[in-house]
Structure 1
């Protein structure tokens, strides 16, 4: 059921938001020259997949978790995209492809070994990663791996259709502050 909802929502979202996505794509060319950011992340069953986002940081920024990145790396356009969470919209492509869900644990990098260990021990990798979830609503980021893993597990254990829609609505309404940087 969730896969059907994800497929319908991502396809509809990509179609309806295509004018906005095109505008941001063009603005991104002027901002960094490379508006799309693709990064290998840990997916379901710890399988790698290529996460797609709008670029919010300078091209030379090191590929690490956001909380380990200096705020001077974020571009002017990137600041707006992060605050509005619009930088996440290209992940609808990942959702349409079945690599992600709209709701689930945020996918981490393979170099976040402490988080991988914590999540693995709690079965978090048994589900698709998501664009948003309980940890995002509660502003828990990857800088606190044990708390994040426990929050992800809590979400997975109590996940219902009602919670699926609740997390989406809360995210659209401004729940969570986006990726934190130093």
Structure 2
């Protein structure tokens, strides 16, 4: 049922947001050098690497590390990058990853390929078996602000309590967080 929901809803949102996504793509292209999309190597189900698309919000010379590890992340943001991140519009291309099956709407947020500490903790607890999500229980309980062990605790809680209704609750709470711009550091 979860996969059917992901397919139907991702198709719906791709159609519904086609024009806004086109406008964002044009805006990214005309305001900065480089490609419209940034393809990030992420850890998927069973720790397999997949390419996750986002609208590019950082300059093309930005180091490939988690944003919070950069000494001054604001220096790397493009002119529209801050807005896209604060509004979470940079995440819209991930609808393609959901449609493809690399991601789900709800699950643990996919780790960067080089976040070894997060990957190891998730693997130890069996969380690596889950399909990563556009949003998740950890996302609505702190997002970028959570230390990795706490994030993994939330991921484990999700794994042990997941259900269709819990997913709907997480999606609803995510919408509220995005509208309030809560938990976004950059």
Provide the TM-score with structure 1 as the length reference: 0.93
Q: Is the 8 A contact 2:10 2:96 kept in 1?
A: yes
Deviations, residues 71-115 of structure 1 (Å, cap 9, x unaligned)? 221223111111111111100000000000000101011211111
Which of the pair is proportionally richer in helix?
Answer: 2
Matched, 1:47 2:48: yes
User: In the TM superposition, what is the alpha-carbon distance from 1:131 to its structure 2 partner?
Assistant: 0.5
Equivalences for residues 20-59 of structure 1 within 5 A: 20-33=20-33, 34-59=35-60
**2:144 aligned counterpart, secondary structure:** coil
Deviation of 1:171 (Å): 1.3
Partner of 1:180: 185
Contact 1:57 1:78 in 2 (8 A): yes
**Offset from partner CA, 1:100-133 (integer Å, 9 cap, x none):** 0000101011211111111111111111000001
Q: How many residue pairs align between the two structures? A: 181
Confirm whether residue 171 of structure 1 aligns to residue 181 of structure 2: no
Using the TM superposition, name which of 144-153 and 87-96 deviates more. 144-153
5+ long unaligned stretches in structure 1: none
Asked if structure 2 preserves the Cα contact closer than 8 Å seen for 1:85 and 1:178, the reply is: no
Partner residue in 2 for 1:14: 14
How many Å apart are 1:145 and its aligned residue?
Answer: 1.5
| Runs of 4+ with deviation above 3 angstroms | 140-143, 175-181
Task: Compute the displacement of 1:61 (Å).
Answer: 0.5
1:57·1:75 contact (CA, 8 Å) conserved in 2?
yes
Q: Name stretches of at least 5 consecutive residues in structure 2 with no aligned partner.
A: none
